[in-house]
Chains A and B, each alone.
Chain A
C-alpha cells in the first residue's frame, strides 16, 4: 500500500513529475495531457520559427547593415542598462532588505511594479516624466537643452525601467535569505557597514547578483513596448532588435525571421547559463551566508 508503485492517481503534480521515465502508464492522464499541450503551446511556435528560417540566406541577412546595426545597438543598450541596473539596483535591494523605514512594504511593491506593468504603459509614463514637456524632462530641457525621448539614452532608460526589478528582486531575496550573523561577526571585528557590505555581504550574494544580472540583461534585450513608446524606432539610434523584427515583418519577413532566430538563440544561451550555474547557486544562497 505504501510502496511507491502503489500510489498513483492521488500523487500531487510535483511528485508525479519527479518520477522520471519508464513509468508513463502510471502517470495520471488528467495531468499528463494538459502538460503535454502546454509544452506544445510553448515549443510549437519556436519550432515553426526554426523550421521557416531561411538557413541558406541567413549569412547574407545577418550581414545586412540594418540588421548588424540593430544587433549592435541591442547588445550595447542591454549591457549599459544592466550595468546601470546593478549600480542602482543592488543598493536599492540592500535598502529594501536591510533598512527599516516607514512605507517599506509599499516601496517594495512599487519597485517591482514594472514587472507586471504593460511595458507600453511604462513607455507612456517615461514620456510624461522625462519627455521635453514632462515633469522632470522640462527642467532638463530648459536648463541644459537635453531632450531624452528618441535618443539611445532613452532606449537605455526604458530598458532599465523594465528590467531592473528582475535584478532587485533576485538580490533582495538573497539578502533576506543570507545569514546576518556574518555581518554581526564582521562588526565585532571592527568593520564599518560599508566595509562589511563590500567584503562580507557582497561576496555572499554574488551568485544571486549574477543570476539577476543575466535575467535583467535578457529582459532588456527583449524590451519592446516601453522602448518604442519612449524612444521610437529610429534606425541606428533607437531601433533595437525587437523593434527591427517588428518593422521587418512588414517589409522583409525573411529578415524578421533571421533576427528572431538570433534573439531566440541568445535566450537559449542565457537560459542554459542560468540553469547550469546560477540558478542552483542562487537557490542555495539562502543558507549559504557568505
Chain B
C-alpha cells in the first residue's frame, strides 16, 4: 500500500461525547461511498474530520498521497488548503450573495480565476445542474432542491479531490428528492473526485453509492454493496435497514 495511492485513505479517531468515533475509510477517485447509520452514529463528525473542521485525535487522513491530518506526525492541513468540498445538509449558501457569486466564491477566494471566468464557470455549472438563468437570484428565493443543487455547484466549482455530502436529500419532498437523486447519480461519479455521501436513507444510499459503509455508535459494523449486505446482513440494524427492499429503485 504505497503512500501515493490515489483517492482517500483515512482512519478517523475523534471524541464524540458519549463514544469515540473510530472509522477506517478508503474511497477511490470517481467512487461514491455512502456512509449509512442511525442518528448520532458519528456520520457528521466523520465528515467534519475529513474536511479539517475537526482535528483528529488519532489516525490519519491521506488524500491522493498527501497527508492532510496526522496527529502523531504533527501534521494538519487547514481546510482551505485541502481541496475537500463539503455540501452541508442545510446548504449554508451565503445569503447576501447571488447564486452566481455563491458558486464563484471558491475560485474567487483562492484567486484561481478572474471574476469573469469564475462567473462564466458558475453559469456553466448552473446549466449542467438544470438551473439555467438562476445566476442573479438570491438564495432566499430558491426551493430546497434548487438550493441543494447550488450548494453542490459551489463545492464542485472548487474542483475538489474529495467531495463530502451531508444528508443531501433529507430535507427535500418526495418528487424533488427522486429528481435530485437521479441527477446526483449521474453527476457525482463524473466529477472524478472521491465522494462520501452521508445518509440515513437506504434507498438514497443504494442508488447513489457504489459501496455502503454502515456506521453504528462510532464504529463500522458492515461494508459492501447494497445487494451483498441485504443478502447477509451482519447486524440487526443492517437487516432492518435493507431488509425491505435492498435493490436500487431507479
List residues of chain A with CB under 8 Å of any chain B CB: 179, 181-182, 184-192, 195-196, 199-200, 203-204, 288-290
Contact = CB atoms under 8 A, between A and B. Distances in A.
Interface of B: 51-53, 78-86, 88, 92, 94-97, 105-106, 109-110, 112, 154-155, 158
Contacts of B106: 189-191
A191 B80 contact: yes
Nearest to A192: B80
Given A184-B79, A188-B51, A188-B79, A195 B109 contact: yes
Contact of A204 (B51, B52, B88, B96): B96
A188 B80 contact: yes
Contacts of B81: 190
A47 B32 CA distance: 73
Contacts of A186: 94, 105, 109
Most chain A CB neighbours (cut-off 10 Å) among B83, B92, B96, B106: B92
A187 B222 CA distance: 32
B53 A190 contact: no
A188 B164 CA distance: 10
A189 B112 CA distance: 12
11 contacts: A179-B92, A181-B88, A187-B53, A190-B81, A190-B110, A191-B106, A195-B109, A196-B109, A203-B94, A289-B92, A290-B95
Contacts of B52: 187-188
A186 B151 CA distance: 12
A161 to B, nearest CB: 33
B88 A189 contact: no
Given A189-B155, A191-B110, 20 more contacts: A181-B88, A182-B92, A182-B94, A184-B79, A184-B86, A185-B94, A187-B78, A188-B79, A188-B82, A188-B86, A189-B105, A189-B109, A190-B80, A190-B81, A190-B83, A190-B110, A191-B105, A196-B109, A203-B94, A288-B95
Contacts of A189: 80, 85, 105-106, 109, 154-155, 158
